[in-house]
Every structure is written in C-alpha cells, then in structure tokens.
A and B are shown apart, each in its own frame.
Chain A
Amino acid sequence: MATETSTRSVVPQGTLYRGREGMWSWVAHRITGLLIFVFLLVHVLDTSLVRVAPEAYNAVIETYKNPVVGLGEAGLVGAVLFHAFNGIRVMLVDFWSQGPRFHRQMLWAVGALWVLLMVPFLVRHLSNVFGG
C-alpha cells in the first residue's frame, strides 16, 4: 500500500480528465470518434452505388469480402462499441449526481460490456470472413 499512498500524493485526486483512466478514456473516445467519422464518409459514398447499378454496388461489395477488410470491419465495430458505451459513461458523469464519483468503476463496466459483446460478434464475423 506504500506505492498506492505515494501515487496519491503525486496525482491530484478528484480529477476527471487529467491523468490515468479519465484522460486515456478521453483520448480513446476522440480517436474512435474521428475514425468512425472518416469511415462514414466513405460508407455513404459506396452505398450510393446502389443508385448507379446493382452490378456496380455488388462489384464493390465483392472486393470487400477478403480477410484484410474483414479484420478492418472487426476493428470498426470494436471502435463503435467503445465510443458508444464510453459515450454513455460521459453522459452519466455529466448528468448523474453520483457519476463523477464512480467514473473509474464505470470505465470498467464499459470494458466488461465491450468484451461481452465483442466475443460473440468476433466468433460470428470472423467465421464468416475466414470460413466459407
């Protein structure tokens, strides 16, 4: 417990966004948000091919059906799920009276929920991508 006490004296307590979990979750929230935004621009563009011709859309979708893009999709879903659950956490910190007090515990809940959904998703998605 000696180290615990000494960290406490260096890192100011009651800080939400400076250092440790509060700051790293904010960095991750920012990076995932940016990533999803860039994806969405491309996503609406390629979906618009349905207005060009069925074959044009199908041809592009066909080029996406490979392991590299498949893993990219898994990464995107991971980013969306983190951003979504951590976003709820941010809202609870802002609006729930006990939010700031439990912000660290809530980050663990975000992580647990993320693992809980990613496992069945990865099983399903990767067997589609790598299986027949």
Chain B
Amino acid sequence: MAAPSLEAPRSTPYRRSTSRRSNYEMYSWLFMRLSGAVLVVLVIGHLFVNLMVGDGISGLDFGFVAGKWASPFWQVWDLAMLWLAMIHGSNGVRTIINDYAQRDMTRIVLKTLVLVALVFTVVLGTLVIFTFEPCPVGPDGAFLEGVPSFCTS
C-alpha cells in the first residue's frame, strides 16, 4: 500500500492575502515620512535665514529675494522646498478629507480642489524661480522702480 500523500496547496505561488489592491497608501505613508525628514532641514533653514540672520523680517524686500536667487544654491533649495512641501501638504490634506468628508461627492469635490491648488501652486512657484529677473527694465529700456542697487552700479 502506498504511503499517505499530502494534498498540494490550492494555489501557487502561495499568497497570504487575497487582496490585489495596489500599494499606493503604503507608498504615501512612506513618502510623508521621507519628505518630512528632508523638510525639517529645508523649512527650518528657510525660517532661520529669513527671520533670524541679518535684519530679520525687517530686511525682506525685492532686493533680498534678488540677492538669494542670484545663487543656484538658494534656487535649488526653494525649488525642493516648494515641491516637497506642496506634495506632502496636499497628501496630508487628502488624508484629512478622507477622514471627515462622509459623502462621496463632497470628497471628490474637495480632493479635486486640493489637486488644482497643488498643480497651480507648484507650476507658478517653479516658473517664478526659473524666470526671475533681478534687474527688470520697462518698455522704455530703463530699470523699473525699486530694482536693487547692484543693478545700477
């Protein structure tokens, strides 16, 4: 008589879960933590340089921005901060909407608004950094009112 045999598993390869959903929420969770770690440096650095160093808040004007964006270092800094903070913030607000908005329609409308705000703000902010002109001239070829002093010297 043959030895008793075990039935083969029903499915191969063996799966613990029958769910075939994507891992989107897991990546979103991970992104919140990774972007947060980078944002600590970017945002606190931004606040320190603009509010603590030099004249602090009293020193902010067009010339201050021109001085910073003359350097690719601060351009890249602000660009990374813009993208990471906006995606991190929008994704966080998405979670909040999912938690509190109960009707399907309300959720769809609110999340669409967040997406529009995200795309609009990131595009606008990116264009501003890349097209910034420290010494703008008017149609008559003369410098506009309020350009920093280094333009004229």
Contact = CB atoms under 8 A, between A and B. Distances in A.
Interface of A: 30, 33-34, 36-37, 40-41, 44-45, 47-48, 50-51, 53-55, 57-58, 61, 65, 70, 73, 77, 80-81, 84, 87-88, 90-91, 94-95, 120-121, 124-125, 128-129
Taking chain A's interface residues, is the majority helix, strand, or loop, or is none over half, making it mixed?
helix
Contacts of B90: 37
Given A41-B117, A57-B65, A91-B36, A33 B125 contact: no
A125 B56 contact: yes
A50 B66 CA distance: 9
Given A37-B89, A54-B145, 15 more contacts: A33-B96, A37-B92, A44-B121, A47-B65, A48-B128, A53-B136, A54-B62, A58-B61, A58-B146, A77-B51, A87-B40, A120-B52, A121-B51, A124-B52, A125-B51
A132 B125 CA distance: 32
B60 A61 contact: yes
How large, as a class, is the contact surface on chain B? Answer: 35 or more
Interface string B119-134: 0010011011001110
B36 A45 contact: no
Chain B interface main SS type: helix
A48 B125 contact: yes
Contact of A84 (B39, B63, B132): B39
A94 B21 CA distance: 23
